Every structure is written in structure tokens, then in C-alpha cells.
Amino acid sequence: MRLSLSIILAILFWVGNALATGTVAGHVKTLNGQVQVQRGAIYTPASLGQPLFIEDIIATGQNSTVGIMLEDDTLVSLGPGSRLELKDFAFDPSTETFGMALRLLKGSFAYMSGVIGRMAPEKVSVETPDAVISTHGTRFLVKVEERQ
């Protein structure tokens, strides 16, 4: 039983890695409490320093927080009970390819611009279920309270 479980875990790990060959959007830089990364149908506990990819959803539990540095030095963080999707990200200064779309599905969120926010602010959007936020190189906060 123990053996078969470890084989299953190994396969899950392998599949997770195989799925993780997309574009790196950023890395987990601060971590406190229960934080999960949802990649497709697979949930894994977040770990410090781990890479995050486009379409990953990061979810925090009660009294838990996470801080993320995106590849262009944009900083974002989540308070407890939050869900954030890294919907799209593109950063290649040599070809002036810039793009960032984040979706805060619920909870609390802090944002500080990086290079994309300075060089191509029109390419940055933060969506919530209710609104779209666009920014000109700055720091802001967003909170989404779900309706029951």
C-alpha cells in the first residue's frame, strides 16, 4: 500500500513537472500558512522560491499569505482567503514583448508595478469578477468580497 502510494505520488509529481514546462511568470517569495498552487486539476502546497506559470491559480487559506515576484519585478501579494489567477504574462524587453493579466477571484491583494508597468502600462490589467483595473506605474490594493 505504501509502495503504490509512493508510485502514485511520483506519477503526480512527474505530471506536475511535465505540465510545468510553460512560461515562468514569477516566483513565490514570501509564504505564511496554508497556500496552494492549482495547475490544471492538480493542487500542490506552495513552497518558497518555487516558479509559477501562466494559468496557475494561487490560493491562500485562513490566516495565510503569499508574496510573488513576477519576472519583470512586479510585486504582488495575497491576504487570507484569496484566489489569484496568473492569466497571462509576457516579458521580453529585447523584442519589446510585454503583457500582464491577473485575475483576483476573491480576497485581498496588493500590487506594485515592475518594468512592464513602467514601460508598457497599457499592457497591464487586473480583473475582478466585477471590474477591470488598469494602472500607470503605481501601488494599489484590491479587495473582492463574494456575494452569498
Partner 1 sequence: MNVIQMLVLACLLLGGCAAKGTTVVLLEDPDGKVGKVSVTTPAGAQKLDAPRQSTHIEKKESAPSVVTIMEQKAIDRDFGQALSAMPTPPQTFLLYFEQGTTSLTPDSRLQPARILAAIRERVSTDVRVNGHADRVGSNDKNMRLSLERAILVRDYLVGEGVEASIIQAFSHGEGNPLFPTADGVSEPRNRRVEVLVR
Contact residues: partner 1, CB under 8 A: 27, 29-30, 32, 48-49, 51, 63, 65-69, 73, 75, 77-80, 82, 108-110, 112-113, 128-147
**Least distance (Å) between residue 89 CB and partner 1:** 15
Nearer to partner 1, 4 or 62 (CB): 62
| Closer residue to partner 1, CB minimum distance, 29 or 39 | 29
Which residue, 142, 140, 114, is CA-closest to 128? 142
* Nearest residue (CB) to partner 1, 10 versus 136: 136
Amino acid at 144: V
Is the Cβ of residue 6 or residue 92 nearer to partner 1 in the bound state? Answer: 92
Q: How far is the CB of 7 from partner 1 (least distance, A)?
A: 28
**Alpha carbon distance 8, 78 (integer Å):** 31
Name the residue nearer to partner 1 (CB basis): 45 or 136: 136
Task: Please give the Cα distance from 144 to 115 (Å, whole number).
Answer: 26
Distance between CA atoms of 43 and 38, rounded to whole angstroms?
4
| Sole residue written with cell 529585447 | 94
Q: Residue 136 CB, nearest distance to partner 1 (Å)?
A: 4
Which helix (H) or strand (E) segment is 78 a member of? strand 75-78
Cβ burial of 84 (10 Å; 0-12, 13-18, 19+) is buried
What's the min distance (Å) between Cβ of 98 and partner 1? 17
Smallest gap from residue 76 Cβ to partner 1 (A): 8
